[in-house]
Structure 1
Amino acid sequence: MTPPHPRTRGLVPLALIAVWLVVGALLGPFAGRLGEVATNDQAAFLPRSAESTRVLREQTAFRQRETLPVIVVWTAEGGGPVTSRQRPAAEAVAALARMSGTAGSPSPALASRDRAALQAVVPLRPDLGDRLAPTLERVRAAAEKVPGTRVQLAGPAATQADLADAFSGIDGVLLAVALAAVLVILLLVYRSLLLPLVVIAGAVFALGVACAVVYTLADHGLVRVDGQVQGILSILVIGAATDYALLVTARCREELAGGRDRHDAARAAWRRSAPAVLASAGTVALGLIALLLSDLTNNRALGPVGAVGIVCAALSALTFLPAVLALLGRRAYWPAKPVGGTGAAGVWQRAARLVDRAPRRVWALALTGLLVCSAGALTLDSRGVPLDETFVRHVPSVAAQQTLARHFPAGAGTPVVILADAASASRVARAVRDTPGIAAVTATGAAGRPTDEPRAVDGRVRWEATAKAAADTQAARDTVARLRAGLHALPGANALVGGYTAQQYDTLRAAERDRAVIVPVVLAVILAILVLLLRSVAVPVLLVLTVALNFTATLGVAALVFGGLFHFSGTDPSVPLYGFVFLVALGVDYNIFLMSRVREETLLHGTREGVGRGLVTTGGVITSAGVVLAATFAALGVIPLAFLVQIAFIVAFGVLLDTLVVRSLLVPALVRDAGDRAWWPTRPGAGERDSRPPAPGGRPPAVLRREDGA
């Protein structure tokens, strides 16, 4: 590329900075507006082809409109039985039907068998959005008119309100915690006052652009966004933009230390870091795009949303940041002085010497440790978490559900829904009642009202069955499986089984299918990118295997931590897939940074010295990037949901394990032990290597012996 004229080369950085300032001013507010197009209605994220989804669509014929039920639970104060004065609760509930936000008449107030509680189901409109919480408060206020009782709200509406409350901190608290963590780490890494602020500004600009694009896509119905996707997008953009910025600024520091002026240093840093940044961003973006193969809508949403975030992060790191570095030069690093290497260069010199002296011992020990950790992955239960573990703090809907389970059949309020042809109604009803695990069955007539005999609508009939087990347990899911097996075996019934438990069951099955389909695709995509970048087959295969091993080792540790420290009985079905996509794609990121530099050095000095030089020159920046990414993902823990806490731990721990063990020891030792064979089928540097004679007496190359990295 022809360098610009000295009189005009300063105009390009100024123009780029001006463009980003305008973009930031116009699009920055979108970072706080994604909540306007987000939905936390879990029914919107069901598997597309699942039986429970078909039931959800078909059963609308049996009711006037779709509803979001809230279950009102009354218990007598002092724990005694409900008195005759308190039975007028039914009349109190009837008044709720006239409230704004309700969608039809509530059910009668039913007494529990122990006579200690009453319950009623109030149907609410599903499109209340921000008005859901005030509507629930009005329901509670009306229900509290029953004297001598304690009122609690359970059911899907109450759970959705608690989810919305949990996600309310995403736009503010989560972003503030993540940026504060990044700022502290960058201050320690750079020992500079100005550069950390520049890097954070670039990350915030990237987040604003990403949120604006996602907002537009969601507003036009092209993607669905919930609180989980919204939170992951913020963390992903901040972490990726900071990682790429660390690589660019480290290269620029090297060029400035070599005597280049600020413009030439910024151009050289861009030229030498762009291939690694683009390959890294492409790897992560394509890995996320593979989620479009998922049968779960929220997984498919995260794919393009995350890819948009990664592209915006790379765009900011390769345009805004080099422009600022070209404008500021050495002043960007003030009060520190740009020098080659990092403040921890001595650590990486020692690591490089260790790898050079005993590569086989190093990789054998690292490999053994990872395999031992991986054994624990077999104990990780990803069949979902019960409702009382969904939130990591006390929430009213969980407490209400626990009260409901103490006094009513555990599945009360969240029935299993059965649809079948009217001609087979009697056979289907008998099969449902005879299914082990079913406590009661009621038929449904017009407008969703209970009735003794089912009323045919368009040739179909509907029942609601109450399971003996709580709706969010494995026992209830087993009941759904038995029920489906029995009903599907009835000839001519065309029976479908849906409802909350069936939705959980179908989500679990879809998650298992997604892992079987998406994992090989992601690995193939990453392998193809690495082959193109490194012009080799052996090294890319080695890198893919090591990051996959890092993932299984992380899951093994997570299984121990989740059960022993956090007391989770399992994980959400999507957690292993999310963990795989993030850890494998981001883990390859760091190996791309390392191995692209090793290949660059190998072209000049050979594989042995290339490994040492690559490890020393990238060790500090990659480890810093890993710490930044781990800290940003750990910030997801401020959202009190088990799913995000589990993702936060898996990614944070896995990234640290990758940067400190896999990338720092295992990969360099394997490549060093393999020598030129690691680059098969090519021999990089043949005819291009440095013409200096080898070190006398077989001594290690200079980069492995000197502390200054020269």
Structure 2
Amino acid sequence: MTAAARPRRSIVGAYARLVVRLRWFVVVAWAAVAVAGLAVTPGSGGGSGGVEGFVSVDSPAIRTELRSVQTFGFPLLSRVAVVQRDPGGLSALTQTEAIARAAAVTQGQYDDLGPILGAIPVPNTFGAFPGARESGTTVITLLFMPPSVGFNEQTAAARTFVANHYGPQDSVVGVTGTIPARTEQGAVLQGWLTTVEIVTLAVVVFIVAVAFRSLLAPLVALVTAGTAILITISTAGSVAATLGVSVPGELEPLLVALLLGVVTDYVIFYLFGMRRELSAGASRLVAAERATARFTPIVTVAGITVACGTGALLVARSALFQAFGPGMALAVLIGMAVAVTLVPAMLAILGGAVFWPSRPRIAPVVASGATEVASTWWTRLLVRRSTAAGVLLGCVAGLLLMAAPARNLDLGLSFVPSLPSDNSVRQAAVEARTGFSEGIVSPTVLLVEGEGITGQRVNLEKLGALLEQRPGVAGVLGPGDQVLPVELGLVLSRDGNAARYLIVLDDQPLGASAVDTVAGLRADLPVLLRAVGLPGAEANVAGDTAIAEGVVTATMDDLKRITIATLVVNLVLLVVFLGALVAPLYLLAANLLALCATLGLTTWVFQDLLGHDGLTFYVPFAAAVLLVALGSDYNIFSVGQVWHEARRRPLRSAMLVAIPQSTRAVTAAGVTLAASFGLLALVPLSPFRELAFAMAVGILLDAILVRSLLVPALLTLVGPVSGWPGRRLRRSRRDGAPEERAPAAGRTPVPPPSVLGPAPVAVAPLVQAAPLPSRPQTSRCTGRGRERALVRLVVLAGMLTVVSWLWWRRPNRR
């Protein structure tokens, strides 16, 4: 083997040789780590339930709720309710027993209540509840329990209460509320999680098998992804404890989907490189070394880009996003570490057998010194400025059209409506809403505080009347209402300094419409207090809708910080990797355009077609961060291939060589990643289906439309200026490198050895016997420049990690 046949003497080349030589040790070491991960019990990532799992405990709504309990000694908010309903009408005896049963609970006459502290019955009889849709058909018994009790325990206590103290004659529909809904969400998720993982693995195996016409290549992807997932899950609990964060359990499958998709992408890149080297006639070990040396920098930079992009969520003030970012970054970094070591080792062991039953064909060479460019008809069209201009206008117009519905995007946080239609908690909620109004399951509390305010009963009753007249309010219970008798101290504090109202909204309590209603009420409270003669009083709202309003407001406030941080991180990494400023700017612009189109399509499908009352608040932002980061990932691979070829040929010829093959790899990787996220839609919960749709559509738009059409058109129109302020593209033109000829019609294109991808199916027998030349080598200066760029990227990523850690651990972090 000649010196030229091996990867050049460099840091990357030395790493490639080391991994190949230690291939058996690497495989055994990762196997041991994976087995150890199986023995480690992962920490619970369920997070807190209810709406509080998505917001910090010092939010205004939660503080108001706690102050209400401290002032009155008893909560007025209930997140668990028992629903009794008979469309033909509940008997007078049934309604009377419901009221007596609730009074007995509050007075502690039962000894089997567990954590239940009290109960309030709310019938829709004789106008007792203003705004009820029906009369005499429904009774809602609100149950009150300490917030320290777990949600599973609260739901179980409510169901035990129903089993022990209700009979068939009581027409009990079921138990509902936000707490039972969160409990049911967890049960649904756990019931579907294994199925989703198995189906996703099967689809990934199928895609990789088809892409490489191999039965063993998918096993490499599965082993690598499985190892990364085991290690991530086993370390997630300890890392979360160290960082002091807890990601809600609903988001854990997203970590698995991201890890499986990203790791499979990296495996696909290595496999394409291995097949190319084998097609060039390299031996098993040399092919593994070359593929490792060629793609390890790309995979490393891509992994750092995705990790830093998701880690940028640390700049958010929302507790959910601050927990979400580190978890995603950790998963990607672990997946990258496994991919750049385990995959080359397995390729070195398997060699060409990894593509069994197919075999890489040996690519021919041209006997003369001329070279020919492997291209496709659409690539040859895209390198023409006239065609590129039309493609650019068409792509931009199409993406802008798809992005138009995003103007109507609303955010909400609905738990009960996200459950399957046959779920008992959702069915009970539907019955309750039919008898009362949409917001009866999760009412809002208004706390009014002021010195001696309970003595101003007339003014307080006026305030209740004004509240009932507000748009979006179905009914108000407060001072003067017989359903909440004053003598129980539920609405007027015993110290005389506070009053409170139970407000039932006319919309889904955690939907976008209800959130807007509460936001408007919060803003108008000072005006309302002055209008009823209580100018010195202070009023605040509490409850699930108020918490959701705070979550949505905080999310919108975080949008600016998250967007700027994500764009800056991805821009810096692209600039360092490409050694240019112009290309990263329009590449990120293309990513943003695809993102806007994705959000527009998601809004149109779920809000306009399916009638959702807003998207789940974290879906657009999680999708935005992931899609921008993954788009930069694909930029690094696809445009990086053009940059690599442009070192020794003009930009136009470099595009003719690199774009067809890199597009093939990116498309295969994109389809795999889209399938990994898209199959989350199998979980019958609305947030999962929204996120699955957004991620699958966004990845496919980026991998197929943006990467295949929009970016090549931009490269053609901007030309060598894309490399400014670097001189790489201008130098390739100035050096007078011969421009490769496009293949003539009817002639099989012959790729040079540097082209990524499979060899042509038909080869000329006469040229197969030609001696295989050594691989073209870039200049020493260019190779060292690439290594310096990689070192700078690693150092930059390390600095960002340190700064993020210090910022996260700052003493005054809220």
TM-score exceeds 0.5 = yes
Deviations 1:374-416 (A, max 9, x none): 223224x323265664235432222222222232354335332
CA distance in 2 between partners of 1:586 and 1:5 (Å): 26
User: Where does residue 793 of structure 2 map in the other structure?
Assistant: none
Which of 87, 90, 106 is 2:119 aligned to?
Answer: 106
User: Where does residue 484 of structure 1 map in the other structure?
Assistant: 522
CA distance in 1 between partners of 2:141 and 2:91 (Å): 14
User: Where does residue 353 of structure 1 map in the other structure?
Assistant: 380
CA distance in 1 between partners of 2:17 and 2:728 (Å): 39
Whether 2:201 is the aligned partner of 1:179: answer yes
CA distance in 2 between partners of 1:383 and 1:51 (Å): 19
Aligned letter for 2:466? D
Which of 640, 644, 661 is 1:596 aligned to?
Answer: 640
1:411 is paired with a residue whose SS is helix
Whether 2:30 is the aligned partner of 1:20: answer yes
User: Where does residue 656 of structure 2 map in the other structure?
Assistant: 612
The question of whether the paired residues in 2 share the 8 Å contact of 1:48 and 1:296 is answered with: no
Deviations 1:260-301 (A, max 9, x none): 333332232222212222222222212211222223322221
CA distance in 1 between partners of 2:487 and 2:748 (Å): 83
Which of 368, 392, 398 is 1:363 aligned to?
Answer: 392
2:727 is paired with a residue whose SS is coil
The question of whether the paired residues in 2 share the 8 Å contact of 1:86 and 1:146 is answered with: no
CA distance in 1 between partners of 2:328 and 2:283 (Å): 37
Tell me, which stretches of 5 or more residues in structure 2 are unaligned?
1-9, 127-134, 364-372, 530-534, 753-814
The question of whether the paired residues in 1 share the 8 Å contact of 2:450 and 2:498 is answered with: yes
Q: Residues 528, 339 of structure 1: CA spacing in aligned structure 2 closer, same or farther, 3 A cutoff?
A: farther
Deviations 1:638-678 (A, max 9, x none): 11121111111111011111111110111012112222111
User: Where does residue 122 of structure 1 map in the other structure?
Assistant: 143
Give aligned pairs, total: 698
Name the stretch that deviates more: 402-411 or 687-696: 687-696
Q: Residues 677, 413 of structure 1: CA spacing in aligned structure 2 closer, same or farther, 3 A cutoff?
A: closer
Name the stretch that deviates more: 463-472 or 513-522: 463-472
CA distance in 2 between partners of 1:452 and 1:315 (Å): 59
Name the stretch that deviates more: 182-191 or 361-370: 361-370
CA distance in 2 between partners of 1:65 and 1:268 (Å): 71
RMSD: 3.4
Which of 391, 394, 400 is 2:419 aligned to?
Answer: 391
CA distance in 1 between partners of 2:655 and 2:379 (Å): 8
Aligned letter for 1:191? R
The question of whether the paired residues in 2 share the 8 Å contact of 1:47 and 1:507 is answered with: no
1:142: how far off?
A: 2.7
CA distance in 1 between partners of 2:47 and 2:491 (Å): 41
CA distance in 2 between partners of 1:21 and 1:100 (Å): 51
Which of 268, 283, 307 is 2:305 aligned to?
Answer: 283
CA distance in 1 between partners of 2:74 and 2:272 (Å): 60
User: Where does residue 54 of structure 1 map in the other structure?
Assistant: 63
Which of 391, 408, 411 is 2:436 aligned to?
Answer: 408
Deviations 1:302-358 (A, max 9, x none): 1111111111111111011111111221122222223489xxxx9962332221243
Name the stretch that deviates more: 602-611 or 94-103: 94-103
Name the stretch that deviates more: 270-279 or 100-109: 100-109
1:64: how far off?
A: 6.4
Aligned letter for 2:393? A
The question of whether the paired residues in 2 share the 8 Å contact of 1:213 and 1:308 is answered with: no
CA distance in 2 between partners of 1:418 and 1:207 (Å): 46
The question of whether the paired residues in 1 share the 8 Å contact of 2:305 and 2:629 is answered with: yes
User: Where does residue 260 of structure 2 map in the other structure?
Assistant: 238
1:694: how far off?
A: 2.9
Which of 353, 373, 378 is 2:402 aligned to?
Answer: 373
Deviations 1:559-581 (A, max 9, x none): 33224654434312222212211
The question of whether the paired residues in 1 share the 8 Å contact of 2:511 and 2:614 is answered with: no
Which of 487, 500, 505 is 1:463 aligned to?
Answer: 500
* Alignment map for 1:522-533 (pairs within 5 Å): 522-533=566-577
Between structure 1 and structure 2, the one with the greater Rg is: 2
Tell me, which stretches of 5 or more residues in structure 1 are unaligned?
none
Name the stretch that deviates more: 260-269 or 285-294: 260-269
1:151 is paired with a residue whose SS is strand
The question of whether the paired residues in 1 share the 8 Å contact of 2:448 and 2:499 is answered with: yes
1:495 is paired with a residue whose SS is strand
1:423 is paired with a residue whose SS is coil
1:463 is paired with a residue whose SS is strand
CA distance in 2 between partners of 1:287 and 1:481 (Å): 32
CA distance in 2 between partners of 1:215 and 1:192 (Å): 37
1:523: how far off?
A: 1.1
Normalising by the residue count of structure 2, what TM-score does the alignment of the two structures yield?
0.78
The question of whether the paired residues in 1 share the 8 Å contact of 2:47 and 2:249 is answered with: yes
Deviations 1:544-599 (A, max 9, x none): 00010111122222233224654434312222212211211111211111011110
The question of whether the paired residues in 2 share the 8 Å contact of 1:291 and 1:302 is answered with: yes
* Alignment map for 1:65-464 (pairs within 5 Å): 69-76=79-86, 79-84=88-93, 87-90=96-99, 92=101, 94=104, 98-99=111-112, 101-108=114-121, 110=123, 112-113=125-126, 114-124=135-145, 126=147, 127-128=149-150, 130-131=152-153, 134-145=156-167, 147=169, 149-169=171-191, 171-219=193-241, 222-339=244-361, 349-357=376-384, 358-379=387-408, 381-384=409-412, 389-408=417-436, 410-423=438-451, 425=453, 426=456, 430-435=462-467, 436-437=469-470, 439-442=475-478, 450-451=488-489, 454-455=492-493, 461-464=498-501
Deviations 1:132-180 (A, max 9, x none): 5544432332354252523321222321222122221354122112211
Normalising by the residue count of structure 1, what TM-score does the alignment of the two structures yield?
0.89
Whether 2:515 is the aligned partner of 1:515: answer no
1:705: how far off?
A: 8.1
CA distance in 1 between partners of 2:374 and 2:17 (Å): 43
Aligned letter for 1:463? R
The question of whether the paired residues in 2 share the 8 Å contact of 1:170 and 1:231 is answered with: no
The question of whether the paired residues in 2 share the 8 Å contact of 1:289 and 1:303 is answered with: yes
CA distance in 2 between partners of 1:35 and 1:441 (Å): 40
CA distance in 1 between partners of 2:359 and 2:499 (Å): 75
Q: Residues 101, 166 of structure 1: CA spacing in aligned structure 2 closer, same or farther, 3 A cutoff?
A: farther
Whether 2:579 is the aligned partner of 1:535: answer yes
Q: Residues 243, 97 of structure 1: CA spacing in aligned structure 2 closer, same or farther, 3 A cutoff?
A: farther
Name the stretch that deviates more: 64-73 or 109-118: 64-73
